Amino acid sequence: MDMVDQIIRLALFEDSGLGDVTTESILADSRSGRGIIVAKQDFILAGIDVARKVFATVDPELKCILRFKDGHKIQKGEVLLEVRGDLLAQLKGERVALNFLQRLSGIATLTREYVDTLNNPNVRLVDTRKTTPGWRTIEKDAVRAGGGFNHRFSLYDGILIKDNHIAVAGSIEIAVALVRARTSHLMKIEVEVSNLDETEQALAADADVIMLDNMDIDTMTQAVALINGRAIVEASGNVSLDTLNAIAQTGVDVISCGALTHQARSVDLSMRINAE
């Protein structure tokens, strides 16, 4: 069972694992019907296949017809998905499917707004690990659906030496040396810095990527000039739609933005179900 399957099963158990007293009282006998999920606003779609898997998990006999793919721009009033089959199964899957679609599409929609605002092919907009616990896989998929890119997925697939690591090690030089001695030569080493002195230390330690954390624009500009192409430069902290282009104009290569996931608002959807 993969991560998405586990998330879906947990969400379904949370919602109806002990039964659905309302629907089971109304539908004493099996009946078939048709359900449609309808957009109540314009947005960028994400999570459509997750929603399909929700219904398939409830009842593999349900037939789902997907009208769009992740990344498509949806207009208010359009039907995203059609479900045919057992009404009890549809009603049990309704809220869970909507929850996934609404949340993930909200992330894709906000990401697209950031990407359109940035409009700079030389700067890559990436997400962070500030995701809903358990949902990281699908939330990072939603960022890609919106046109953004992913930073590291977890602690195992990317090296990022942060301020607390440096405090524990004693210095940037020591922290980088310890990591380099233990890890593969194929992995880049990224170091978080907060001022120009730390930037110089990261350069001296031959960091592959230097993250400029919570720097003001003037200091960031000086740091980029100091690095001068000797490392990939990432900007992080205080990133918003209002500051995005000013940060990009400093010459950084990457902008990481936690807001893509932790500040996204769910979109408005509804499901309409009718007996046949």
> Distance between CA atoms of 124 and 239, rounded to whole angstroms?
13
pLDDT at 239: 97
Give the amino acid at 155.
Answer: L
H, E, C per residue of 208-256: CEEEEECCCHHHHHHHHHHHCCCCEEEEECCCCCCCHHHHHCCCCCEEE
**Set 70, 213, 234, 253: catalytic member:** 213
Token representation of residue 84: 């045919």
Across the 276 residues of the chain, what is the mean pLDDT of every consecutive 10-residue run?
Answer: 90 92 86 97 98 98 97 98 96 97 98 95 96 96 98 95 97 97 95 98 98 97 98 97 96 98 97 91
Q: Which residues pair with 73 in a beta bridge?
A: 44
Give, in order, the Cα–Cα distances in Å from 194 to each of 46, 171, 234: 35, 14, 12
> Distance between CA atoms of 163 and 168, rounded to whole angstroms?
9
> Distance between CA atoms of 76 and 87, rounded to whole angstroms?
26
> Distance between CA atoms of 103 and 259, rounded to whole angstroms?
14
pLDDT at 241: 97
pLDDT at 108: 98
Query: How many other β-carbons are positioned within 10 Å of the β-carbon of residue 254?
Result: 18
In our burial notation (b when 16+ CB lie closer than 10 A, e otherwise), range 123-133 reads: bbbbbbbebee
Question: 213 catalytic, yes or no?
Answer: yes
Q: Do the beta carbons of residue 43 and residue 109 sit within 8 Å?
A: yes
The reply to whether the predicted model has a pTM over 0.85 is yes
pLDDT at 28: 78
Closest CA to 9 of 40, 54, 70, 47: 54
CA angle 21, 24, 26 (to 5 degrees): 105
* H/E run at residue 89: helix 87-118
Give, in order, the Cα–Cα distances in Å from 27 to each of 20, 85, 103: 11, 14, 30
**Set 63, 162, 188, 265: catalytic member:** 162
**Set 70, 94, 139, 192: catalytic member:** 192
Question: 130 catalytic, yes or no?
Answer: yes
pLDDT at 19: 86
**Set 67, 124, 129, 130: catalytic member:** 130
CA 109 to chain centre: 11
* H/E run at residue 172: helix 172-182
Structural domains of the chain, with CATH: 3-114+265-275 (3.90.1170.20), 117-262 (3.20.20.70)
Token representation of residue 97: 């499917």
Question: 92 catalytic, yes or no?
Answer: no
**Set 67, 84, 95, 124: catalytic member:** 95
